[in-house]
Every structure is written in C-alpha cells, then in structure tokens.
Amino acid sequence: MDINKVQYKLIFPDGPERVLELHLRSDTLVPVAWLPPKPPEWAALEFQKCTNCPLKPNEHAYCPAALNLVKLVEDYNDLDLLDTVKLEVKTADRAVIVSATVQKALGSLIGLLMATSDCPHAAYFRPLARFHLPLATEAETIYRAVTAYAMAQFVRRQAGKEGAADLDGLSEIYANLETVNTGLSARLKAARQDGSIARSLMEWDVFSGMFPMRAEAVMESMRPLFSAYLSDK
C-alpha cells in the first residue's frame, strides 16, 4: 500500500515545536492509523449532530469529521491563535516553510483533515487534498475549487452522467460545508472544548458562507487570462 505522508511542524519563537504527521493512502487519501482507539464522547454521531448530516447512528457510531479532528483538539486546542510561528509543511513533492499565525496554520491543517475524513459533505474536497496547498490564499482556494468542480463534471460526463455547466452545485457543496463547520464548532463548545480548533472552524465557516459572492469576484478578475480560449482561431 503506497502512502502519502504530510507533516506539519509549528515552531514557536521560544523554541518548542508541535509536530503532526498524517499518513494517507495514495489511492483513496484515507488516513492510516489516525483515528483514536477510544474516541471521546463529543465525537459520537448523535452528539450535537449537524443538521444536514445524512448518516445513521446504526451505521456510524461516530461523526467522521469529528474523529479526524480528535488528535488536533487534544494536542493543539491550547494554542493562542494570534501567536506567530514558523510553519514547515513537508510532503513527498515539496516543502513549504513560511511565517504564519497559529490560526492560519491550524486552518490549513483543518481543511486537510476535513477533506480526508469520511464526512459525505467534505468528500467533494478530496481532489484538493490530493494536491494540498498549505496556506492557500482566498483566490487560490477558489481557483482550485472551481477547477476541481469543472473536472468533476467532465468525469461525470465520461461516466455517462449529466455534467453541470454552472457553479450552482459547487455553491451548494460550500453551503453544506458551512453547516458542517457550524455544527462541529457547536459540538466542541458543548463538550467544553471551545479552544483554538473551534475558533479556527468558525473562520472556515465564514469563508464557506461567502463563497458564491467571492467566487464570482475572483473569476471575473481572472477572465482576461482566459482570452486565448475565447479566440475563434
């Protein structure tokens, strides 16, 4: 079984560091040896269950997204989001070394953990996780999401299914993700785990809610770059 390894290292100015290593199956991006052997009560599916969750408790005892976040909550929930760290992200393809706030670093990591969970609403982001881009800007995230969605429609047509010609479906995906982010944040607060992870989830919540408006603006600004595709030559 081939493995993709992603390592996040947060190095603080006074010396200590936090290291998190995620091993993902190359074919499915499912985490290997990652889920907690004894999940906490707040990870149970029925504990503050998301309002749009389609999963059934007799088939899923635990929330897949919550399970993927357990280790992050246990090891990183005490951090100050405003602290600045040296962030090192290493994959088989590259190493990214930047200065960033803890909030930006955790937000990037949460995005990867959500996309590689078995949450049916986050599964649409797995192609983006395959080409994980740490600390992606808003424009980069929107471009990657739109192009992945366009490729998904091509894949659907290749499979004999109908493919969308607009982004309404992508907006719906982000609307569902917004509900999931809100639900996960509420889940952590109800479990008295209202720390840096819950607050980082709320930042994702804001972005998800603004996606349709921001996507339109970003695509409009990039339209001139696609002039070659509009040529009749």
Task: Return the pLDDT at 65.
Answer: 96
Q: Give the integer Cα–Cα distance in Å for 32 and 124.
A: 20
CA 136 to chain centroid: 11
Task: Return the pLDDT at 142.
Answer: 92
Q: Where are the domains of the chain?
A: 3-230
Task: Return the pLDDT at 206.
Answer: 64
Burial tier of 22 (Cβ tally within 10 Å: 0-12, 13-18, 19+): buried
pLDDT tens string, the chain, 233 residues long: the values are 688 999 999 999 987 899 999 999 999 998 887 888 899 999 999 999 999 999 999 999 999 999 999 999 998 888 889 999 999 999 988 999 999 999 999 999 999 999 999 999 999 999 999 999 999 998 999 999 999 999 999 999 999 999 999 999 999 999 999 999 999 999 998 888 777 888 888 776 666 777 878 888 999 999 999 999 988 76
Taking residue 156's Cβ as centre, other Cβ atoms within 10 Å add up to 13
**Closest of 185, 151, 229 to residue 66, by C-alpha:** 185
CA distance between the termini of the chain:
47
DSSP string, 12-37: -TTS-EEEEEEEEETTT--BSS-S-S
The sign of the dihedral angle between the CA atoms of 28, 63, 208, 201 is negative
Q: Which two tokens stand for residue 53?
A: 């969750």
Q: Which two tokens stand for residue 98?
A: 């930047």
Give me the helix-helix angle, 64-76 and 168-190, nearest 10°: 50
Q: Are strands 84-90 and 3-11 parallel, antiparallel or unpaired?
A: antiparallel
Q: Give the integer Cα–Cα distance in Å for 203 and 60.
A: 27
Task: Return the pLDDT at 204.
Answer: 67
Give me the helix-helix angle, 196-222 and 64-76, nearest 10°: 120
Taking residue 228's Cβ as centre, other Cβ atoms within 10 Å add up to 7
The answer to whether 90 and 59 are in contact (CB under 8 A) is: no
The sign of the dihedral angle between the CA atoms of 176, 27, 18, 66 is positive
Q: Give the integer Cα–Cα distance in Å for 82 and 220.
A: 33
The answer to whether 183 and 49 are in contact (CB under 8 A) is: yes
Q: Using the 8-state DSSP alphabet, how is residue 62 labeled? A: B
**Closest of 111, 134, 127, 230 to residue 181, by C-alpha:** 111
